[in-house]
Every structure is written in C-alpha cells, then in structure tokens.
A and B are shown apart, each in its own frame.
Chain A
C-alpha cells in the first residue's frame, strides 16, 4: 500500500477505535477538536523542520506529491505538500493523536490515576487563558 492509502486507513481505523471500540467518542467532543486545532499548528511547525531541512524524505510513488528533491527543500505549499511535509502527514498525525487521546480517556474511565485532575491554571496565567468555572 502507498502512504496515501495507509494514512486514510489509519484515520478510519482510529475513528472506529474511538467511537465503537473504546467508546471514548472524542470525535464528537468540542474539547477534542479545540485541542486538535492547537496540536495541528505545532505539528506543521515541527514537521516543517523535519521535512524542510530534509531530515526526512519521501518517495513520490508512495505520496500524492513528488519525491523529495535531493539537495533542496521540497515545495513549502502545493504539489501535495503543506509546510514542506506531504499532506499525508496530516492524516498520519491525526491518527496518532486520536489513538493517543482515546487511550488516555479510556484508561481514565478504567480508573488508572483517575483521582488526579488537570487544572485549575496557576493564578499567574489565569488572566491569559479564558477560564470559566
């Protein structure tokens, strides 16, 4: 299978795991999509370093875009790329993050250290983040 196919399968499988297997149903929750929106920005930045500085290179046969050039960065955007990385990386990243957060919430429901909760933010940052009781 190509990376494109695998990435789409990965997204589909993790959604099934979240909704039907672990039943954490994060894809139906605002808190997940808000978090994902933040995470994806930082994914584009960190992945942009890995691909823009040619630390990781891709084969054109496996992705929508073309093979990473040998001695120059790939396109920043366009030709199947976004922030130097293949668009497939967005699907790969989504699967990675959804599987992680689904398992995290599943263990919470199973009682693994469920007595420890996040927050509230420290006084020093409450003014910076929108905090509502």
Chain B
C-alpha cells in the first residue's frame, strides 16, 4: 500500500467532488468531449512546468509514496494524474456553483 499514498489523495479528490455530478447535476462527465479538449492542453502545459521543476529540483517526491512509474523526463504517473484530476474537480465545483446560482449567468454564457 505504501506506493499508493499519493494516489489515495487523488482518489479522495475524485470522491470528494464526484457527488456533485449526481446531486447538483453538474453534467461535467456527461460533457466528456469538452472535458477532454479542456484538460489535454492543461496537462501539456503543466507537465512541461513539472519537467522543469523536477529537473531543477524545485520539488522531489518520496519514492515510498508514489507509484514510481515515470511517464516522461522524471515526471511520475501520479503527477500526470494530478493534472487530469484536479482540473476535473475545479470544473465540477464551477459547474456546481453555476447550477445553484443561475442568477450569476451572463449573456456570455451559452444558453
């Protein structure tokens, strides 16, 4: 279990935000195509940042806490999943607020 501690935090984030999809009808996962085209560029940009930061030792990981599966240039799988899951959590929160505060819609929002 030791190598799964980082992933356990990410699982907590997924579960902590996932209920919004059902109870507040955020319909984020249902808009899977927009989710994919939104998250892909974010992953690209932040993995580049991660490569730089890991290369310059801005941050390091406890090898006991992560999967140690390296995706690219020292970036562990755990980090790549972070850059996928955290944006999903943010979008779920944003859509939950939109769902419960329709009075904040502007004419910019596609109706």
Q: Interface on A for B, CB 8 Å cutoff?
A: 2-3, 6, 10, 24-25, 29-32, 34-35, 38-39, 42, 46, 49-50, 53-59, 62-63, 93, 96-97, 99-101, 103-105, 107-109, 111-114, 116-122, 124-125, 129-133
A116 surroundings in chain B (CB, below 8 A): 27, 30-31
Q: Tell which of B38, B46, B108 has the most Cβ of chain A within 10 Å.
A: B38
Specify which of A35, A46, A62, A103 is in contact with B12 (CB 8 Å cutoff). A46
Q: Interface on B for A, CB 8 Å cutoff?
A: 5-6, 9, 12-13, 16-17, 22-28, 30-31, 33-34, 37-39, 41-42, 45-46, 49, 52-53, 56-62, 65-66, 83, 86-87, 89-91, 93-106, 108-110
How many A-B contacts are there with CB distance less than 8 Å?
169
The answer to whether A99 touches B58 (Cβ under 8 A) is no
In the bound complex, CA of A121 to CA of B95 (Å): 11
Contacts A34-B97, A112-B34: A121 and B103 contacting too (C-beta < 8 A)?
no
The answer to whether A119 touches B25 (Cβ under 8 A) is yes
Specify which of A34, A118, A132 is in contact with B26 (CB 8 Å cutoff). A118
Known contacts A25-B108, A62-B58, A100-B42; 11 further A-B pairs (Cβ under 8 A): A10-B49, A34-B101, A39-B90, A50-B9, A56-B60, A56-B62, A97-B87, A99-B42, A103-B41, A116-B31, A119-B24
